[in-house]
Amino acid sequence: MAMRLLMAPWMRSRSRVMVPWMRSGWRSMAPRMSPRPAIESMTPRTVGIYGYVAYSASKFALRGLGEALQHEVIKDNIHVSIIFPPKTETPGFLDVLKGRPELTGIIAGSSSGMKADGVAKKALDGIKSGKFIIPCNFEGTMLAVATAGLSTQSSPIMAFVEVTTAGLMRFSALCYQWSWFSTIENYYAKNRKHE
């Protein structure tokens, strides 16, 4: 509660400065360019994963920020992008892998990673084309389709894919969830036997 009270004025004051600047200030600095704000959120934002309680929550919030911001600036032809890179092979990520819980590693170990250059290329291409959601690999695309909900979609083709595959994506998501919960139950059952 106290954190919410502290953050609310901070967020309001920043948005009072940034949104008007994006609408008009940017044009005076770069008159031939259209501003393209981008938010990086990481793929775990699409689902809650064991061991990422605070991390997933903050990444979920970034999507909401991007959606609300897109509504505020679209009339000025400003297109917001949210980039969802997978595990990205960086020196910092190797440190994260060392510090996360063993069970998180087991659950998240099935997802593939990418090199930083590949993520950067996908992100820049998506930003330039005005995409709202920018997944960087096949798994990210499937998660973006599965969690589309009321999200903005600038591509009629992707909108069609989202609508026609919604049932299949939900079934697939339930299978993943079942697998993760089974992994969690088995992990704790195995550890109880060793106590």
Q: Is the pLDDT assigned to residue 46 strictly greater than 60?
A: yes
**Active site residue: 15, 55, 111, 172, which one?**
55
Clarify whether 55 is annotated catalytic.
Answer: yes
- Alpha carbon separation from 130 to 26, 62, 68 (Å, rounded): 17, 18, 16
Helix (H, G, I), strand (E, B) or coil at 29: helix
The whole-angstrom separation of Cα 82 and Cα 133 is: 5
Looking at the chain, list the stretches that DSSP marks H as alpha helix, in order from N- to C-terminal side. Answer: 2-20, 26-29, 53-73, 91-99, 102-108, 116-128, 138-146, 156-164, 166-193
Percent of the residues in the chain that have a pLDDT greater than 70, as a whole number: 78
Give the tens place of pLDDT for each residue, 129-138.
889 999 988 8
Clarify whether 187 is annotated catalytic.
Answer: no
The whole-angstrom separation of Cα 51 and Cα 150 is: 27
Tokens 């599965």 — which residue? Answer: 146
**Active site residue: 52, 56, 59, 131, which one?**
59
Clarify whether 41 is annotated catalytic.
Answer: yes
12 or 96, which is more confident? Answer: 96
Q: Which of the residue ranges 26-30, 122-126, 148-152, 167-171 would you say has the lowest mean pLDDT? A: 26-30
**Active site residue: 41, 50, 81, 122, which one?**
41
By C-alpha distance, which of 37, 127, 49 is closest to 86? 49
Which amino acid type is present at position 112? S
pTM of the model: 0.76
Gyration radius of the chain's alpha carbons? 19
